[in-house]
Amino acid sequence: MTRIALLNTANDLSPAQWAQLARGNDPFLSREFLGLAESTGAASADLAWQPVHVVLQAADESPRAFLPLYLRQHSFGDFSRDWQWDQAWQSAGLAYYPKLVSAIPFTPSPGPRCVLAQGEPESTRDELIAAAIHVAQELKASSWQCLFVQESDRAALENAGMLLRGGVQFHWKNRNYADFDDFLATFTAMKRKKLNRERRYVSDAGLRLATLHGDEIDAASWQAIYRQYADTFRRYGNHPAFSLEFFQQLAAQIGRAMVVFVAYQGDDLVASAICYRSGTTLFGRHWGADIECPGLHFELCYYRGITYAIEHGLRTFEPGAQGEHKLARGFEPVMTWGSYWIANPRMRHSVAQFIAREAAATEQYQLEMSTHLPFRLES
């Protein structure tokens, strides 16, 4: 007999139970990342990320399936792009919050959401989706949003009647490049010249660049890296949700699955870009710098990541949300997907109409962005 369990933290599943889940080596949907985000305060009720993770349990309490789920009182940090929806609900005399979100806190990265245990049939995914909708109804949430989903989840969510909404990110794809110069050879001469000039700004500044993995970063370096991360958020009036403790403990736990590109001026660590990796993908997350240097942001956040992906045989580099400037650096526009269950039938109809209107513009935007890529036309 299957039981629906709600977890107050990802740590409520043991490491052995997590090992039963087929998560595809995703660094974010992990006990380490979610558990530390929750225990150090980033994903907590204080920041409107109240964990109510859904687990389908077998009779022996082993997990058959897992869904990350958070009860939210606002939308900061989930990248749901529902900025005007609260106002629409209020205009209809309804409350938009609380809503439920299946996503990784402060991490707009496509990945597994409906996670099955090893050996579970695909029909278990349907059971998990039905369980999530039941939880949404029980908690009287206005909606359940399953964000940045992979293709297998997308199909199941659509089959369950949820509304699908597309977005666009810019990802780099490894087409079996031998090295960075091999990748750059695919650019037009003008675009290649501009990129090389950008990189020369950094080399001419006399900075020393290095790649550090999580198990190679000492406490003093973390102080500098964290300060740079936090300063970037504060500069734009945002809250740096992850703490120094989170980064230090996560680095110790996941080791080489964390990758940080750094720049030194003399002996001082003056800039950093925090990334994570799976067996196939590099994920860019946070950037900061203590100095002004033309081209340094692009070098650490993009070019070092591309080089790393080529050297380590990774297929994709996802540097984060937004950023049309990534096109000129060889990042291609790709579709991302979220799905939406709306409790109120009238509001569901309104959201469906909004998504339908938006879809044509999103598709056109992706096509338009594709015309600005730097690559040479094939003869």
Mean pLDDT within 5-29: 95
Average model confidence (pLDDT) for the chain?
96
This prediction's pTM: 0.95
Question: Helix, strand, or coil here: 270?
Answer: strand
Among 44, 28, 50, which residue's Cα sits nearest to residue 115? 28
As a whole number of angstroms, the distance between CA 163 and CA 188 comes to 40
Q: Of 40-44, 124-128, 283-287, 347-351, where does mean pLDDT reach its minimum?
A: 40-44
CA distance 308 to 259: 9
Give CA–CA dist 210/228, Å, rounded: 16
Task: Read off the pLDDT of each residue in 31-53 and give the average, rounded to a whole number.
Answer: 95
Q: How confident is the model at residue 379 (pLDDT cuts 50, 70, 90)?
A: very low
Q: What is the pLDDT of residue 106?
A: 96
Compute the C-alpha angle 196/197/198, nearest 5°.
90
Give percent above pLDDT 90 in the chain. 94
H or E element in which residue 269 lies: strand 268-277
Strand pairing of 316-318 and 281-289?
Answer: parallel
For residue 160, pLDDT beyond 80: yes
How many of the other CB atoms lie within 10 Å of CB of 144? 25
* Beta bridge partners of residue 169, listed in sequence order: 334
User: CB within 8 A of 41, min separation 6: which ones?
Assistant: 47, 243
Query: For residues 239 and 103, what is the distance between their CA atoms, to the nearest angstrom?
Result: 19
Residue count of the chain:
379
Q: What is the pLDDT of residue 322?
A: 80
pLDDT digits (tens, 9 = 90+) for 49-102: 999 999 999 999 999 999 999 999 999 999 999 999 999 999 999 999 999 999
Cβ neighbour number for residue 205 with a 10 Å cutoff: 16
Q: Confirm if 124 and 56 have CB atoms less than 8 A apart.
A: yes
197-233 per-position pLDDT tens digit:
999 999 999 999 999 999 999 999 999 999 999 999 9
Which pLDDT does position 316 carry in this prediction?
Answer: 98
**Given pLDDT bands bounded at 50, 70 and 90, which one contains residue 377?**
confident
Strand partners, 172: 317
